[in-house]
Amino acid sequence: MDFLLLFLKECRFRSFFLEKIDIKSWNEKELTEKIIEMKLPKFRAKQIYEWLHQKSAESFADMTNIGKKLQEQLDEIFVIRNVEIVRKQKSKIDGTAKYLFKLHDGEYIEAVLMQYHHGYSICISTQVGCKMGCTFCATGKGGFFRNLSASEMLAQIQMAQKDESVRVSNIVLMGMGEPLDNYENVLRFLELVSGDNGMNIGMRHISLSTCGIVDKIYDLAERKLQLTLSISLHAPNDEIRGQTMPINKKWNISELLKACRYYTNQTSRRISFEYAMIDGVNDSDEAARELSQRLKGIIAHVNLIPVNPVTETGFQKSSIARQKRFVRILESSGISATVRRTLGADIDASCGQLRGKFDKEECN
Ligand code: SAH
Ligand code: SF4
C-alpha cells in the first residue's frame, strides 16, 4: 500500500515537473503517430493540426470540435507556445507595425509587419539575440540568449495576423538572430509554414537572410528549396568585412561567394546581397568597383541599405548622392542594384532597436 502511494506521488511529481511537449513544432505525421498511440481516431490529428496552424488556436479549449475530454488529455501532455504583445509601434507614414513580443520564459523578441502593394510581409526573429557580433547591429551588440523553436517563429506571424486582422503572404527571416545558426528549428519552421494543412505560404514567398554560415549554405543548396537567399555581405573585401563582421574570420568572402555560386547552380535562384552603406567605410567608388568584380557570374541582386545608426558605433549613413553613385557603378558593370525603401522610418523599424530600447527603459 505504502509502495502504491509512493508510486502515485512520484507520478504526480513527474507530471508536474516534466516539461510538456511543444505541440506546434510537430509536423502532422508526428502528431498523427501520437494520436494513434493514444488510441484515438486518426482524423483527430488533422483537426488538431488545423486548429494550431490554420486557425491559430491559443489554447486546447479553443478547439471546439474535439470534445472536452480530449482537450484535457492534450493539455496534460502538450503546451501551445504563444507570444504576447508587450509593445507595438505603428508608423504614421506607411502603416508598418513593429512588435515587441514576450516569450513564455520572459525573453523578448521583435517582428515587423509591412504592407506592400502585393500584400503583407512579416520580418520575424529566429533567435533571442545573436552570437555573430556584427559591430553595426543592435541585436549583435546585445549578445545571445537562446534559439527560438519552430512554434515560436510561427507564433510571431499568427499574433501579428490576429492583431491587425490581416493575412500575411510573404515572410522574411531577417529579424533578430542568425537563422542558419538555428538551422534545425528553421528547417522545421519552413516545413510547417509552407505545408498544405498549415499556413500554406510557399517557399517562393519566403526569404532567409544570413551573415554567411557557409556549411549550411551548401546544405540548403542540396535541399533545393525555392526560397530566396539573402547574404549580408556589406563589404567588397576581407579587410573591410573583417572589421565589422567576425564571421568573416571563419569563412572569408571567397569561400562565401563560392558557396553562393554553388547555391545558384543547384537551385537556379537569384541571390540577394545585402549591403549596408556606411559613410566612409564601405561606400567609395573603389568599393563599388571591387564589389562588381567579385559578384561577376553570380545571378545576383544587390540591396543597398543606408546603415541604421546604432548608438555607440559612430557609423553614419552614406549620403544620398553616394548611394546613387554606388548604384550607378554597379549597374554599369551589369550588376542589378537598388537602394532599399525604408519602411517604418518613424518607429525604429530596424530589428534589435526596439528590444534594446525596452531593456534600457526597463533598467532605468
Ligand atoms: N542574421 C541575419 C539576419 C538578421 S539581420 C543576417 O545577418 O543576415 C537582418 C539584416 O539587417 C542583415 O542584412 C543585417 O546585416 C542588417 N542590419 C543589421 N544591423 C543593421 C544596421 N544598423 N543598419 C542596416 N542594416 C543592418
Ligand atoms: Fe547577428 Fe545578423 Fe546582427 Fe550579424 S547582422 S549580429 S548575424 S543578427
Which domains, and CATH codes, for the chain? Answer: 2-79 (1.10.150.530), 84-363 (3.20.20.70)
Helix H or strand E encompassing 347: none
pLDDT given at position 312? 72
Q: Torsion over CA of 259, 233, 299 and 261, rounded to 10 degrees?
A: -10
pLDDT given at position 183? 98
How much distance in Å is there from the Cα of 140 to the middle of ligand 2?
A: 5
Adjacent-strand bridge partners of 305: 276
Residue type, 151: S
Whole-angstrom Cα distance, residue 133 to residue 118?
A: 34
- Give the ligand at the shortest distance from the Cα of 144: 2
Of all protein residues, the one whose alpha carbon is nearest to atom 8 of ligand 1 is 210
pLDDT tens by residue, the chain, 364 residues: 444 544 444 444 444 557 899 999 999 999 999 999 999 999 999 999 999 999 999 999 999 999 999 999 999 999 999 999 999 999 999 899 999 999 999 999 999 999 988 899 999 999 999 999 999 999 999 999 999 999 999 999 999 999 999 999 999 999 999 999 999 999 999 999 999 999 999 999 999 999 999 999 999 999 999 999 999 999 999 999 999 999 999 999 999 999 999 999 999 999 999 999 999 999 999 999 999 999 998 999 999 999 988 767 789 999 999 999 999 999 999 999 999 876 666 676 655 444 444 443 332 2
- Give the ligand at the shortest distance from the Cα of 209: 1
Report strand pairing: 144-147 vs 108-116. unpaired
Whole-angstrom Cα distance, residue 248 to residue 250?
A: 5
How much distance in Å is there from the Cα of 330 to the middle of ligand 1?
A: 21
Q: What is the DSSP string of 41-71?
A: -THHHHHHHHHHHTS--SSGGG-TTS-HHHH
Of all protein residues, the one whose alpha carbon is nearest to atom 8 of ligand 2 is 177
Is 351 labeled as catalytic in the residue annotation?
yes
Of all protein residues, the one whose alpha carbon is nearest to atom 11 of ligand 1 is 174
Whole-angstrom Cα distance, residue 229 to residue 210?
A: 8
pLDDT given at position 118? 85
pLDDT given at position 268? 95
- Give the ligand at the shortest distance from the Cα of 124: 1
pLDDT given at position 11? 47
Is 260 labeled as catalytic in the residue annotation?
no
Q: Which atom of ligand 1 is nearest to the CA of 175?
A: 4
How much distance in Å is there from the Cα of 137 to the middle of ligand 1?
A: 6
Catalytic residue among 178, 274, 351, 363: 351
In the structure grid, which three cell numbers stand for residue 191, read together? 516545413
- At residue 56, what are phi and psi to the nearest 5 degrees? 50, 45
Helix H or strand E encompassing 200: none
pTM of the full predicted structure?
Answer: 0.91
